[in-house]
């Protein structure tokens, strides 16, 4: 889908439900690692849920929008599951790890 078609699609879609999540990793490096690990997983239903991620000052910020509350809940829940896994991996193996 090109940018113009995407903009038209967004204009026609009601993104009524949204939420934000911010996780402070206290390190730009750790936030970047988690961002990189999670960025490859795209939303399974992009016509129903949008997710935007960014990093700033060692914090990972995520904004979700959905057409229905149940899609928002499912997307948020699945994201938190993989975020927890990525965070635990960094906690376990990240300190002093040589790349």
Q: Which of 4-13, 60-69, 80-89 has the lowest mean pLDDT?
A: 4-13
Q: Are 75 and 66 in contact (CB under 8 A)?
A: yes
Is the pTM higher than 0.85? The answer reads no
- 16 lies in some domain: no
Strand boundaries in the chain, DSSP class E: 17-24, 49-56, 59-66
Structural domain containing residue 49: 21-93
- 51 lies in some domain: yes
In the predicted model, is pLDDT for residue 70 greater than 90? yes
Higher local confidence (pLDDT), 10 or 76 = 76
The pLDDT score that the predictor gives to residue 61 is 96
Mean pLDDT of the chain: 85
- 36 lies in some domain: yes
- Domain count for the chain, please give it: 1
The pLDDT score that the predictor gives to residue 6 is 52
For residues 50 and 60, give the distance between their C-alpha atoms in angstroms, rounded to a whole number. Answer: 16
The CATH number given to whatever domain includes residue 36 is 3.30.310.50
In the predicted model, is pLDDT for residue 83 greater than 90? yes
């Amino acid at each position: 889908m090109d940018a113009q078609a995407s903009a038209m699609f967004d204009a026609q879609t009601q993104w009524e439900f949204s939420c934000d999540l911010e996780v402070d990793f206290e390190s730009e490096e750790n936030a970047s690692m988690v961002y990189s690990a999670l960025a490859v997983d795209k939303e399974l239903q992009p016509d129903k849920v949008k997710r935007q991620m960014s990093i700033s000052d060692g914090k990972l910020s995520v904004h979700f929008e959905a057409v229905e509350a149940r899609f928002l809940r499912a997307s948020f829940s699945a994201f938190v599951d993989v975020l927890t896994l990525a965070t635990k991996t960094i906690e376990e193996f990240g300190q002093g790890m040589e790349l």
